[in-house]
Structure 1
Amino acid sequence: MTPEDQEETQPLLGPPGGSAPLSRRVFLAAFAAALGPLSFGFALGYSSPAIPSLRRAASPALRLDDAAASWFGAIVTLGAAAGGVLGGWLVDRAGRKLSLLLCTVPFVVGFAVITAAQNVWMLLGGRLLTGLACGIASLVAPVYISEISYPGVRGLLGSCVQLMVVTGILLAYLAGWVLEWRWLAVLGCVPASFMLLLMCRMPETPRFLLTQQRRQEAMAAMQFLWGSEQVWEEPPVGAEHQGFPLAQLRRPGIYKPFIVGIALMAFQQLSGINAVMFYAETIFEEAKFKDSSLASVIVGIIQVLFTAMAALIMDRAGRRLLLTLSGVVMVFSTSAFGAYFKLTQGGPSNSSHVDLLTTLSMEPASASVGLAWLAVGSMCLFIAGFAVGWGPIPWLLMSEIFPLHVKGMATGVCVLTNWFMAFLVTKEFSSVMAVLRPYGAFWLASAFCIFSVLFTLSFVPETKGKTLEQITAHFEGR
């Protein structure tokens, strides 16, 4: 029997008619898995308060210069790209649960190395390890949560991945106000340690167990997560075909979600989110915010609030609507952001950030502050729009659209695409500004946001209320 025929004959794994389960322990399991993204967010946010502290370090061996500070912030993305590849391999071979347990090790060890650091190389090594853990967690947590969820709450629980990421970032910003870098690294060990303890008591996903022909364990997992396997349609017994022969790329059920997943990850980074975040503190300073760290906290609060709102309405509004709305808001706000730079940058420009600030300082004080408030409003609107759609939904859809037998490799490629694009956009944005000037760079981001909206309307399917098997059937035209 071919894989296509086998999938045709397999009943759906999900509640008949979308009926509600008898147990709420699925929420506990989702929370346990989402502690990985919380650690991921904390690791991302750690550099913001830690770098100023390390610049003032008493020991010369630990003091960061500009080059070392740049690597301290950026090396996480390189580790995460490697973690995405490793996570894609682990998730199919070790399973979803064990992969989450294993990713706690580089989180704890990485922060422990930073805590005990005696030189810059130990700091960078610790950051690389936490980045590796970020890559694994960003892949495995959405997959685990999507496979234990039933359709009625999969959007809510899947969106909690991004919610926990931005919560972790905000936690790092807030804790950075009162803790110096060593104690902040000690705090970074806590979410991962808690996840290790809690995930040990959670089951593997029933779908993965069935691919391994471990039927009795799958039934026990259903009983734990959903209260009773009797309310669920008889699940498939046969194992999915593991591995990824390239010939399978000819199948619509493989290449269509592949294109959608990779494009969503690329558009997420091309939207300009990293560029906007890069300018956040400067923009707040121009608006006469005295404490630049307060700007980071404000941005973090906006992200948490609007990501939480997206999670609450995800299963009602649907993925396509929120992606489209989010994209339209980002088009408007990046256009306004570009207009701000155009208005404050008179005459020729070599477009470096320093020269831009010099130009701004030549403006009359009242005009500069007024235009800075335009930028603050555009930036906050952009962050809110991103948090409602293009922040959480690409990760959610990545965990929903791939068939089980290619999920590890396919999600690995998507995560690698996301982190590579994040590194590329962050590193090359200044070069783009040198060619197009700052306003041109943000208008280019606006154009990418327009393309993301058109792509969503043309190619992204609505997965709201569908089982994972129904989503696969949609791509295969069944």
Structure 2
Amino acid sequence: MTPDDPEETPLLLRPGVSAPRGRLFLAAFAAALGPLSFGFALGYSSPAIPSLRRSAPPTLNLDDNAASWFGAFVTLGAAPGSVLGSWLVDRAGRKLSLLLCTAPFVTGFALITAAQDVWMLLGGRLLTGVACGIASLVAPVYISEIAYPAVRGLLGSCVQLMVVIGILLAYLAGWVLEWRWLAVLGCGPPTSMLLLMCCMPETPHFLLTQHKPQEARAAVRFLWGSDEGWEEPPIQAEQGFQLALLRQPGIYKPFIIGVSLMAFQQLSGINAVMFYAETIFEEAKFKDSSLASVIVGTIQVLFTGIAATIMDRAGRRLLLTLSGVVMVFSTSAFGTYFKLTQGRSSNASHVDLLAPVSAEPVDTSMALAWLAVGSMCLFIAGFALGWGPIPWLLMSEIFPLHVKGVATGVCVLTNWFVAFLVTKEFSSLMEALRPHGTFWLASAFCICSVLFTWFCVPETKGKTLEQITALFEG
């Protein structure tokens, strides 16, 4: 039989399945509240650090080193969270894993709210990071298993869309809320996810692997409105992940692609930009850095939404390539800005390096300031168009079902580990390579990502998961 044969194609991946989209989209939205929560956690540090420095008691004063740890602890916690998520998703199920991750989200933000010293702040950030690791792995898997090919790109891209909405929400709320109330607000999205996911079904595929065909059929009826014409597909015997499986092209090829995509996504410098958005704009002499951060967040939401709407028409590969090219030019231009404005003294401080030369005419400084703002906005737009949503979408598409838990866990672990390194060492890179060298290094990684996409990443648009597996197997 061919991969297109309905007897061999998993129930949720058959093309042409007619379904009312309301319940399907509601289930996807409920799962995507997890990414919204970790987007809020990512964006929280940007307004919270200045607020802590302004209004916190002496026991909570953050120096530069403590502030960098405060920003990076989310990614540090997300690494073990992704490992835990890879274990939960195959044993507890997709739905229960999402429900469980609400506990560390709420507990972490509650700990930050009640913080009396720096260690409580860092502990709260670590707990929210663990929840971020679980949600970032489980949500794409849940959504991919309830979606059919015609809308899988749209719904899969909503994972990243909700992340950037969460970041923008943190920026907007940071205008009017100080850090404690901002943490209280952070408890809202995971609580909403807990309430909504209680009303959503487990994915039919997972139910079938647990030998529950009646529950799987009920889930199909709930999500699609009807199970008419659906025949229960045969389920293969469960296979645990073994290193020997990496010899198979259908395993090692998507494994290399998934890990590389996650690494390139973070090496572009996006997390450093988002964590320190206000700081970057302040040092670029932008008058209202809070407004600048909101503008950046709005651009990211807008272009991620555009990517979601065209994903199933334009394809993953084209958008990744276009996105990478835009990021190459924008990071190069931003590096050029810092090269033109840096001080000449070899022992200048990090802040001195970022300050425009005072002897320059005012109009020249203003022109360079707009170059910085334009480059940053172009970078955010380019990233949101492809390298933001697509690695997470492809991660949920390219792995065979019997190794999906472990393989996606390794990919998410790679993403968060590289994100931690980039975020924690961003300031050190700015000092060692100087600002222009740091952004030119990011530009070099973006060039590598374009080449990798062009030569190694296949197109998965409109294909069933089994067709994608067959593509890797040759």
**Fold match (TM-score > 0.5):** yes
1:405 aligns with 2:402: yes
Shift of 1:272: 2.3
CA RMSD of aligned residues (A): 2.3
* 1:194-343 to 2 correspondences below 5 Å: 194-232=192-230, 234-277=231-274, 280-281=277-278, 284-285=281-282, 289-343=286-340
| 1:240/1:404 contact within 8 Å kept | no
**Residue identity opposite 2:27 in structure 1:** A
Give the aligned length: 471
**1:240-273 CA distance string (max 9 Å, x none):** 5242111111111110100000000011111122
Q: Which residue of 1 aligns with 2:68?
A: 70
| CA distance in 2 between partners of 1:159 and 1:30 (Å) | 11
Gaps of 5+ in 1: none
Checking the alignment, whether the CA contact within 8 Å between 1:146 and 1:399 is kept in structure 2 is: yes
Alignment of 1:36-435 (within 5 A): 36-57=34-55, 59-232=57-230, 234-277=231-274, 280-281=277-278, 284-285=281-282, 289-345=286-342, 347=344, 349=346, 353-358=350-355, 360-435=357-432
Does the 8 A contact of 1:39 with 1:168 survive in 2? yes
Is 1:460 paired with 2:457? yes
SS at 1:177 equivalent: helix
Return 5+ residue gaps in structure 2 as ranges: none
Stretch of structure 1 that moved more, 283-292 or 198-207: 283-292
8 Å Cα contact 2:69/2:424 also seen in 1: no
How far did 1:299 drift?
A: 0.9
For the residue of structure 1 that corresponds to 2:228, the secondary structure is helix
Cα shift readout 1:35-70 (whole Å, capped 9, x = no counterpart): 111111111111122222222335322333333322
Is the 1:287–1:370 contact (alpha carbons within 8 Å) kept by the matching residues of 2?
no
- Secondary structure in 2 aligned to 1:464? coil
Q: SS at 1:466's partner residue?
A: coil
One-letter code of the match for 2:257?
V
Residue 429 of structure 1, CA deviation: 3.6
Please say which of residues 12-21 and 99-108 is displaced more in the overlay.
12-21
C-alpha contact 1:12 1:470 (8 A) present in aligned 2: no
Contact 1:326 1:388 in 2 (8 A): yes
- Give the Cα–Cα distance (whole angstroms) in 2 for the partners of residues 409 and 309 of structure 1: 31
Q: CA deviation at 1:186?
A: 1.3
Tell me, yes or no, if structure 1 residue 13 matches structure 2 residue 11: yes
| Deviation of the 1:121 alpha carbon | 1.8
Q: Kindly tell me: are residues 445 and 352 of structure 1, through their superposed partners in 2, closer, same or farther at Cα, counting changes over 3 Å?
A: farther
Deviations 1:332-382 (A, max 9, x none): 111111222222236564575323134534433332221121111111111
Q: Is the 8 A contact 2:73 2:125 kept in 1?
A: yes
How far 1:423 sits from its partner (Å)?
A: 1.3
Tell me: CA distance 1:434–1:85, structure 2 relative to 1, closer, same or farther (3 Å): same
Q: Which amino acid aligns with 1:213?
A: H
Q: Deviations over 1:175-202 (max 9, x none)?
A: 1111122221111111111110110110
Larger mean Cα displacement after TM superposition, 234-243 or 173-182: 234-243
Which residue identity does 2:434 align to in structure 1? R
Partner amino acid, structure 1, of 2:36: L
Per-residue deviation at 1:275? Answer: 4.3
**CA–CA separation in structure 1 for the residues paired with 2:282 and 2:55:** 25
Match of 1:167, as an amino acid?
A: I
Q: Say if 1:401 and 1:198 are closer, same or farther in 2 by CA, change over 3 A.
A: same
Cα gap change, 1:178 to 1:357, in 2 (>3 Å) = same
Match for residue 444 of structure 1?
441
Deviations 1:141-198 (A, max 9, x none): 0110011001011111111111111111111111111112222111111111111011
Deviations 1:276-317 (A, max 9, x none): 446643554466543221111111111111111111111111
Shift in CA distance, 61/257, structure 1 to aligned 2, threshold 3 Å: same
Contact 2:335 2:438 in 1 (8 A): yes
Deviates most, 187-196 or 423-432: 423-432
What is the SS of the residue equivalent to 2:357?
A: helix
The answer to whether the 8 Å contact 1:10/1:235 transfers is no
- CA 1:391 to 1:156, structure 2 compared with 1: closer, same or farther past 3 Å? same
Residue 130 (structure 1) shift: 0.7
- 2:30 counterpart (14, 29, 32): 32
